[in-house]
Amino acid sequence: MSRLHFVAGNDIQLLHSGAQFFPALISEIDQASAEIYLETYIFANDQTAVAVQTALIQAAARGVQVRVVIDWIGSDRQAAIDLTRRFNDAGVDCRCFNPWFKRGLARTHRKICVVDQQVAMVGGLNIIDDCIADDGSGIVLPSPRWDFAVRVTGPLVAHVHLEAEAQWRKLGRLDFRSRFALMRHLHADAKSGGKQITAAALVVRDNLRNRTTIQKAYLHALGTARKRAILVTPYFAPGRKFRRAMISAASRGVDVVLLLGVGQFALQDAVAQSFYGPLLQAGVRIVEYRKTQLHAKVAVVDGDWATVGSSNFDGLSLFVNHEANIVIRDCDFAAALSCELEQGLADGVEILAADVHKQAWYRHVWHGIAYLIYRGLMRIVTFGHYG
Active-site residues, by number, are 109, 111, 116, 295, 297, 302
99, 322, 96, 97: which is closest to 207 by C-alpha? 322
Q: Is the dihedral of CA 191, 307, 292, 349 positive or negative?
A: negative
127, 122, 119, 128: which is closest to 148 by C-alpha? 122
Give the integer Cα–Cα distance in Å for 48 and 51.
5
Give the integer Cα–Cα distance in Å for 51 and 124.
19
Amino acid at residue number 218:
Y
* Helices marked H in 8-77: 17-31, 47-61
DSSP 108-176: B---EEEETTTEEEEES--BS-TTB-TTTT-PBPSS--B-EEEEEESTHHHHHHHHHHHHHHHTS---H
Residues 6+ apart with CB under 8 A from 251: 282, 283
CB 278 within 8 A of CB 250: no
CB 12 within 8 A of CB 330: yes
From residue 148, how far is each of 36, 259, 276, 284, 375 by CA, in Å?
21, 14, 25, 24, 29
93, 163, 94: which is closest to 122 by C-alpha? 163
- DSSP strands (E only) in the chain: 7-16, 35-40, 65-71, 93-97, 112-115, 119-123, 148-153, 197-205, 228-233, 255-261, 285-289, 298-301, 305-309, 323-329, 349-351
Give the integer Cα–Cα distance in Å for 175 and 182.
11
